[in-house]
Amino acid sequence: MASKPRCISLTASRSRCLKLYFSRSGLRPTTTDLGGGTVMHCWVPRNPNPTRKNVLLIHGFGANALWQFCEAVPSLVARFNVYVPDLLFFGKSYSTETDRSEAFQARCVKRVMEDNKVEKMAVVGISYGGFVAYSMAAQFPESVERVVICCAGVCMEEKDLAEGLFMVATVDEAAGLLMPKTPEKLRELMKLTFFKFPKSVPSFILEDFIEEMCVQYVEEKSEMLHAIAKGRKLSELPKISQPTLIMWGDKDQVFPLELAHRLERHLEGNAELTVIKKAGHGFFLERPRQFNRRLKAFLESTAAPTATATVADAPLKA
């Protein structure tokens, strides 16, 4: 899609507002040079409190950390030291390395946390960020104390695509949706992401979002998606030992709810599942009060997971 002259970008304006929002929440932007052509941007506490727990929030595809955690950050900063990185090839983070695995992303995020002198943390991952969070927990069990996996199909297998578990049949088809080039494709993605998505969003707004969020690092992001699926088998997925909360929307059309139950079974009693009713893949934005309340309760707890599904329905106060 050819770029069109724009007097003002609504997407860029919202991003600027979100940066101010994060700053007023007590966070500041940082950039860490990890060497080898790898640079990561991360929002960190302006004045970390050594008596509080550290919480790392890892975003997924679709936008950057600002957009995906705008509802969660204000709710968490009053009780935790909150860290919000942009994964490689999102926001201001990039790399000249050729490794596109979630394991590499996890190692890079861990080094950013080390640079900020964070030794122990809880890790929260949304969608693709859940793959990275799970990998961090597996690679660094001495540092990751609790894990929250949100709508992330870490238990998927490569064969699930061909067997019809997903709305797409190939990784390339998924990449075409997750990195849309037209308003029509973005509408299709939004319909899959949210339980209720307004049908009347003007095309110029969608075009603006695509120009700001979907045109950079397209090849690298496509390679990341291929790396997730290639040769993936449940039998080879490590069983993490940390207490784990699994959160999912009951109407998720990106990663079907079956994958949440599959992960719960895989972790053999070390996880508990919370299903948010009348919400899709983006339940953390559709039902922020339910999400924030359940998230804070788990992060503050020292109890072991209950291993029983909890369904949040009626709106809850944050």
Model confidence over 255-298: pLDDT tens digits?
Answer: 999 999 999 999 998 999 999 999 999 999 999 999 999 999 99
Residue 315: pLDDT band by 50, 70, 90 thresholds?
very low
For residues 301-308, give the mean pLDDT. Answer: 71
pTM of structure = 0.93
Q: What percent of the chain has pLDDT over 70?
A: 94
How far from chain centre, in Å, is Cα 208? Answer: 22
- pLDDT at position 251 is 96
29 forms beta bridges with 43
Mean pLDDT of the chain: 92
Angle at 81 between CA 77 and CA 84, to 5 degrees: 85
- pLDDT at position 109 is 98
